[in-house]
Homo-oligomer: A and B are copies of this chain.
Amino acid sequence: MSRLESFIRRLDAQRLCLDWAAGAVAARPGAVLELGLGNGRTYDHLRARLGAGREIYAFDRQLAAHPGSVPPAERLILGELRDTLPAFAARGVPVALAHADLGSGDVAATAALAAWLGPQLAALLPPGGLVLSDQALTAPGLEPVGLPAGVPGDRYFAYRRA
């Protein structure tokens, strides 16, 4: 498979998972966290699927999003996630879904961030809260959830807070 084909498959899987997650939290109040805004394509997709009534907080090291996918200033949180996510957690905003798209070319840094993120999300989410992640996460309280058919098991991961 060429890298172009592999990339298309990854984006297809991402779209399927986001659609699934949006459906899964439709009846559940709470904010949505986009951890790793990047270009803003998945933020735009979530915003379209979740509707205007849903608050989406987008986190990134620095703003690199397409002008059409920049969140309102009060829901754009810039800086190192290791600083900004604990600060957000301290605000006590109820969260229904966290989507993490944090993988970078730096395999070691990505693994370290994922190891840190699992327990953070387990502490932040209320029971029943959903996590969708491009990295496998492990933490007491995060239970793996099956993904929709057609999504390869090594590209996306979902968890529910017990």
Contacts and interface: CB of A to CB of B under 8 A. Distances in A.
Interface of A: 2-5, 7-8, 11-12, 14-15, 18, 39-42, 44-45, 47-49, 66, 68-69, 105
B2 A41 contact: yes
B11 A8 contact: yes
Given A2-B48, A48-B2, A41 B7 contact: yes
A4 B14 contact: yes
Contacts of A5: 15, 45
Most interface-central of A4, A14, A15, A40 (chain B CB within 10 A): A4
A8 B4 contact: no
A12 B49 CA distance: 22
Contacts of A3: 39-41, 44-45, 66, 68-69
A12 B8 contact: yes
B14 A44 contact: no
Contacts of A11: 4, 7-8, 11
Given A3-B69, A8-B11, 7 more contacts: A3-B45, A3-B68, A4-B11, A4-B18, A4-B41, A5-B15, A7-B41
Contacts of A15: 4-5, 8
21 contacts: A2-B41, A2-B44, A2-B48, A3-B40, A3-B44, A3-B45, A3-B68, A3-B69, A4-B11, A4-B14, A4-B15, A4-B18, A4-B42, A4-B44, A4-B45, A5-B45, A8-B11, A8-B12, A8-B15, A11-B11, A66-B105
